[in-house]
Structure 1
Amino acid sequence: MNQHITSAMSQAFGRFASKEHKKYFQNIINRSYVRMMGLDMSEFDAPDTYPTLNALFTRKFRHKRSFSSDPKDMISPCDSLITECGKIEDDTALQIKGMRYSVDEVLGEGISDDAKKSIHNGTFVNFYLSPRDYHRYHAPIDMQVLHAVHIPGKLYPVNIPSLKKQVNLFIENERVVLECLSGEGKRFFMILVGALNVGKMVVSFEPRIQTNSNALNPSQYSYRELYLSKGDDFGCFMMGSTIVMLCEQEMVEFGISTGHKVSFAQTIGRLTF
């Protein structure tokens, strides 16, 4: 399979965003991006302190956000817009209203049939991170990571207009699938979906995953004792993108709806154990 043009375009943008330009020019780039996108920098360092545009994209908080310590509370893994959420009907979920996709297909061949079946008739949430959002992602609960699967693919935009017109966008785009367990042994998946101009999707616990590269075949990684605590930072998008969460039946009752804007650390659901 030849590299798709969306991947080539995104690699070119990634090289520009990763380049450390002369200080005065970098300051112009950073300030222009903040102004153009309307970034709220109140929780972050000043734009002039970031040596590259990617450093600005992947900025960290000056002070950690607080969140509920109740182990039953699930928090949002990111700052985002909820583009869709609801019940998985058999193996079908919504990309956006009127546009469905198969969760089995989005999980890919690297996930076992039994693991796929465990989330049939469960629940799903699609988190869309716009270019103005905080780009890092965090563990929504205390969790164990069983597998990570990198699936190369295209890099179509994942904004609302694209979700409405591009059939099977989540299935065609590059993605990283994380198979996880809650503390009570309930299975869920976090799927990091690439998008146009996403220079990289970084998974901090698995440096072998190199996205937006020349990889053409899926790669799989398994773990025996990999645990993340609620709120742990485990990577970032280098531009806006989407996280899809797929949960087993009777694992969580979500308190959010389509169209809600959520922030990392905000309680979005309650585990039902």
Structure 2
Amino acid sequence: MHITNIISQYFGKFAKFEFPLFIQKFINGAYVKFLGLNMSEFRNPKFYKSLNDLFTRELAIPREIDKDKDCFISPTDSLITQCGNLEDDLLLQIKGMEYSVEEMLTYNCANNFAKVKNGSYMNFYLSPKDYHRYHAPCDFKINKLIHVPGKLYPVNLKYLNKQIDLFVENERVILECTHEGKLFYMVFVGALNVGQMVFNFEPKVETNSDAKEIKIYEYESLDIKKGQCLGYFKMGSTVVMVWEKDFVQLEKLLGQNVKYGQRIAKKSI
């Protein structure tokens, strides 16, 4: 097991521990103040029983989402660190650092590599202070879930600029999805101190464990509705979305912070 996984497991144990109320209130308050969390859409920090509860907090006030059926919404509150069109099967981890979509998606998606070549992509980085839940960007069907064990390097801008093939080496969960017959992928990338990635529709997935083999879960008809909560990161991390060629037109969002529910792309006519 890589050192990043060991560190993350120990941090995960600390984060899920429920301290006596007065200690937990202090920890939660200090975390909120230190990171500058905006809690206006959430419960008061004192009500969360552990740091995990605070990390994975639900919205207390429902979020308005773009309901246009022809648009994709952001699945997360995050920073768009890179986006654009693939050059053949290459996309950018960060400016000047390429990696292969085939390596990220693994050979288990080989039948669809031709479709996503020269397609579109967008990277969403969730910092530790962001809302950690991820939602459906549109109405779609999940065809398969692929859990790929791996390392847990940090995914902040510093590491994106120096760690080659970070999204290929890190643990990740890949969702293969279709919308009106068109293909797209959502890739959830683990990171240092991410104790777990949780998927509400598939409780069998267990990340940041001792697993060494890729696991695949296939579905015949798993329908997901736009805005539906898919699960959550236990700490900040990254989501990469990849669309097949000529499927969408991306909004110009590079370097901008986006909110879950905000339009990020529109289907090509």
Task: Say whether 1:146 aligns with 2:143.
Answer: yes
* Whole-Å separation in 1 of the counterparts to 2:211 and 2:113: 25
| 1:68-217 alignment runs, 5 A limit | 68-111=66-109, 113-182=110-179, 184-217=180-213
Q: What SS does the corresponding residue of 2:107 show, helix, strand or coil?
A: coil
- Counterpart-to-counterpart distance in 2, 1:7 and 1:235: 21
The amino acid that maps onto 1:105 is E
The letter of the residue matching 2:62 is: K
2:56 aligns with 58
- 2:245 and 2:170 map into 1 onto residues whose CA distance is 26
What residue is the counterpart of 2:222 in the other structure? 226
* Distance of 1:114 and 1:90 partners within structure 2: 16
Aligned partner of 1:43 in structure 2 is 41
Matched residues in 1 for 2:113 and 2:173: separation? 15
Query: How far apart are 1:175 and its partner, in Å?
Result: 0.1
Structure 2: which 5+ runs fail to align?
Answer: none
Q: TM-score, normalised by structure 2?
A: 0.99
Deviation at 1:256, TM superposition (A): 2.7
Match of 2:249 in 1: 253
Q: Which moved more, 1:250-259 or 1:5-14?
A: 250-259
Whole-angstrom CA distance in 1 between matches of 2:19 and 2:6: 22
Instruction: After TM superposition, give the deviation of residue 114 of structure 1 in Å.
Output: 2.0
Aligned Cα root-mean-square deviation (Å): 0.8
Residue-by-residue CA offset, 1:55-97 (whole Å, 9 max, x unaligned): 0000011121111222102110000000000001110000000
Instruction: Say which SS state the counterpart of residue 192 (structure 1) adopts.
Output: strand
What residue in structure 1 maps to residue 28 of structure 2? Answer: 30
The answer to whether structure 1 residue 10 and structure 2 residue 14 are counterparts is: no
| TM-score, with structure 1 as normaliser | 0.97
The DSSP-based 3-state class of the residue aligned with 2:147 is strand
2:253–2:264 contact (8 Å) kept in structure 1: no
Query: Which consecutive segments of 4 or more residues in structure 1 shift more than 3 A?
Result: none
Q: Could you tell me the percent identity over the aligned residues? A: 50
Aligned residues: 269
Q: Which amino acid aligns with 2:21?
A: K
- Gap runs ≥5 in structure 1: none
Kindly provide the amino acid, as one letter, of the partner of residue 263 in structure 2. T
**1:225-262 per-position Cα deviation (integer Å, ceiling 9, x unaligned):** 10111100010000000000000111111113320110
- Which letter maps to 1:118? K
